Structure 1
Amino acid sequence: MTTTEQVPGYTVGTWDIDPVHSAIEFSVRHMGVGKSRGRFQSFRGEIVTAENPLESSVTATIDTNSVDTGNADRDAHLANPDFLDSENHPTATFRSTAIRADGDDYVIEGEFTLHGVTRTIALETELGGITEEGVLGLSAETTLNRTDFGVGPDGGAMVGEKVKLTIEVEAQLRS
C-alpha cells in the first residue's frame, strides 16, 4: 500500500492544474501509415490529495473547440459534427473513481465523457514529484477507441480508431 512517506514532499490539499505548464495531446493513425497529432489548448482541473494517496481524486474539463493540430482546416473539421461536434458537446470531462498503485507508478481510473458518451478509462500515471514551493507534476497516458464515444466514422481508412492521449500536468497547491 502506498503511504505518504513513500511520496517525497507529499502534501494533503487541493491543487489547481496550471494550463500554462500542462498539456493534453493526442495522436491517431492517418491513412493507416502515419500519425496525426494535436492538442487541446483550453482545459482546467484539480487534484485533491488525501491523507491516503490512493483516496485522492482528479477532475478535468477540456474545451473541445480548442483542438489544435496546426492546421486550421483540419481543426474546423475535427470540431464539426463529423467528429467532436463542439457546438453540441463543448466540453469533455474526466472524474476519477479509483486510484491504485502499479509498482512505482499509479493507475487512475475514472469516467471520461466525450461527445456526450461516458466510458470508464484507465490513465497510466507517473508522479513526477512535488516541490517545496507547492507544485505537483505528473504524466499520464491512455489509448481510447474514438468509436466507443461516437466520434468520427466507424472503421474509416483515413483516420484510425485508436487515439492515444498523453497528458502532462503541473498543478499548484491552492492556498
Structure 2
Amino acid sequence: MSSQDAQSLSPAAVPIRLTINGTERRLQVEPWTTLLDLLREQEGLTGSKKGCDHGQCGACTVLIDGKRANSCLVLAVVKDGAEITTIEGLGQPGNLHPMQEAFIEHDAFQCGYCTPGQICSAVALVQEGRAHTREEIREYMSGNICRCGAYTNIVDAIEDVLGQSSTLREAAE
C-alpha cells in the first residue's frame, strides 16, 4: 500500500488478511468497506462490476472460500482469513478457465458487463453439483441478471462445462 493510500484511510482502518486469486494479502480496511470496493479500488481488480450495489444483479459475484457471493453485500473485514477468487483469478488469456472458454465458444455475452459475475457464479454452480438440467441451471443462475438477454447462450455454455465435468468424473471412476 502506498503512503498516499495509507493517508487516505481513516484511523478506524483495521488489518485483515485475505488470499486473493492465490496471493496472500495483508490489508488495512475501513470497517464499512465492501469486498467489491476493496477489490476494485484498493486492489485494482476491476473485473468484478458494480451493477446495482444492492445484491440484486450479480455483476459483482466472486467466489469466497469456493462459494459464490455478491461482493457488494459483504464487508471486507468480515472475511478476514478468507480465500477470494475473482474473474482475474480464474484464468488469463492463453490459460482460460473452461467456463471462460465455453462462454466464448457459445457467444454467451453481448455487452459483457455481467459476464465476470456470470462466469464466477457458473463456476460455483458446477462445483456445487446440484444443477443437472437446463431448468435447474436457469434456477441456480437466477441471481445473475443479463440485461442484454444472452441467457440461452449462457445456459448453453454452462451445460457444455457440466457435460465436460460429468465426463471427467466418469473417466476418474
Same fold (TM over 0.5): no
Structure with higher helix content:
2
TM-score (norm 2): 0.26
TM-score (norm 1): 0.25
Structure with higher strand content:
1
Q: Which has the higher contact order (CA 8 A, sep 6+)?
A: 1
